[in-house]
Amino acid sequence: MLPSSSLSQISTLHIHRVGDYSTLLESLGVGALLFDARDGRIVHANRPGLDILGRTASDLVWPLPPPEWTLFDERGQPVAAERNPVHQVLATGQPAEERFARLGVEGGAKRWVRIRALPVQGHGEGLGGVFVSLVDMSVDRVSSALAERILTGEIARARRYGSDFCLGLLDIDPPPASPAPTLEEEVPREVGKRLQQSLRDSDAMAPWGDASFLVLMPGVGLLEGSGGLERIRQYAMSRPVAGKPVVLSGGVTEFWPADTQETVLARADEALLIAHQAGGNRVCSR
């Protein structure tokens, strides 16, 4: 289960429990923010939450001003203010529907997050604040739901408008000297962050298994898609992680009009298999 799923069973959080939940979510790598119901300022944040906002604990003066962020839907379009989960809770006093969104922070890159917002009961009557959990989907290792949703949306758009796109799959190659190849947890986490940083604004990326990533590149054919996947692969491999080099293999294919989600994924997977069979550390197309 996604860590934030544990909050889906809660309709209201008491102010005394905020610290406990924030600590629990931090141990799971999930961000937590507490917004004051009176002025929308942030009065509490855990470390992953600050990281998603692009802030560090050393440069903060509490309370923090409301973040200058913009929420985007799966098609990359800005979300109206009334659909912002924090605003929904403030307006209704009820939990906001959990959703995926591409979070744009001022001065930073857009990143896919999974958002859950809950009303917080204050010391007295009425709404005391809004508790928000944020799962950074570029490093979440649990669910492929985001990748499937992005791919489904892109296929629908390609069919409606006759547009092109390429689908890429990237695998982190296991250490060759390891008798039982395993990856330290921080390796896919750091690779996911680097891939997210290297995407074009129109591209999308999401985890696809424990050490794999799905990359969508709208508006390009197979030649450009191969070059684009190679570019972000090189960026992800440009620096060691935990003192060790990182190697990735990739497969890429172009969407065809008769494709379904299953057929385009199968063709990208075939290209990835060809890359592995050729020795890895390369991108192959199909």
Instruction: Output the pLDDT for position 76.
Output: 64
Q: Give the residue with greater pLDDT, 94 vs 109.
A: 94
- Indicate where the chain has its CATH 3.30.70.270 domain(s): 145-285
Q: Give the residue with greater pLDDT, 158 vs 186.
A: 158
Instruction: Output the pLDDT for position 6.
Output: 45
**In angstroms, what CA-CA distances link 97 with 18, 104, 269?**
19, 20, 33
Instruction: Output the pLDDT for position 5.
Output: 41
Q: Which fold has domain 3-136?
A: Beta-Lactamase (3.30.450)
Please provide the average confidence, as pLDDT, over all residues in the chain.
85
Among 8-12, 27-31, 70-74, the range scoring the smallest mean pLDDT is 8-12
| Among the listed residues 33, 88, 31, 103, the one whose alpha carbon sits nearest the alpha carbon of residue 64 | 33
With tokens 């990326």, the residue in question is 205
- Indicate where the chain has its CATH 3.30.450.20 domain(s): 3-136
The share of the chain scoring above pLDDT 90, in percent, equals: 47
> Cβ neighbours of residue 94 under 8 Å, at least 6 residues apart?
11, 88, 119
| Among the listed residues 174, 176, 271, the one whose alpha carbon sits nearest the alpha carbon of residue 215 | 271
Q: What is the pLDDT of residues 64-91, one digit of tens each?
A: 988 877 787 666 677 888 888 999 999 9
- Kindly report the number of other CB atoms within 10 A of residue 232's CB atom: 26
Instruction: Output the pLDDT for position 268.
Output: 96
How far is 221 from 259, CA to CA, in rounded Å? 15
Whether the CB-CB separation of 255 and 266 falls below 8 Å is answered with no
Q: Which fold has domain 145-285?
A: Alpha-Beta Plaits (3.30.70)
Whether the CB-CB separation of 7 and 116 falls below 8 Å is answered with yes
| Among the listed residues 216, 207, 204, 208, the one whose alpha carbon sits nearest the alpha carbon of residue 252 | 216
Instruction: Output the pLDDT for position 223.
Output: 97
Reported as a pLDDT band with limits 50, 70 and 90, residue 52 is confident
Q: Structure pTM?
A: 0.62
Whether the CB-CB separation of 127 and 42 falls below 8 Å is answered with no
Reported as a pLDDT band with limits 50, 70 and 90, residue 143 is low
Reported as a pLDDT band with limits 50, 70 and 90, residue 155 is very high
Instruction: Supply the DSSP string of 186-213, one letter for each residue.
Output: HHHHHHHHHHHHHS-TT-EEEE-SSSEE
> Does residue 175 carry a pLDDT above 90?
no
How far is 236 from 233, CA to CA, in rounded Å? 5
Reported as a pLDDT band with limits 50, 70 and 90, residue 260 is very high
Report the amino acid identity of residue 180: A
**In angstroms, what CA-CA distances link 51 with 47, 105, 139, 185, 198?**
6, 11, 12, 18, 18
Strands (E), 122-200: 127-136, 165-172
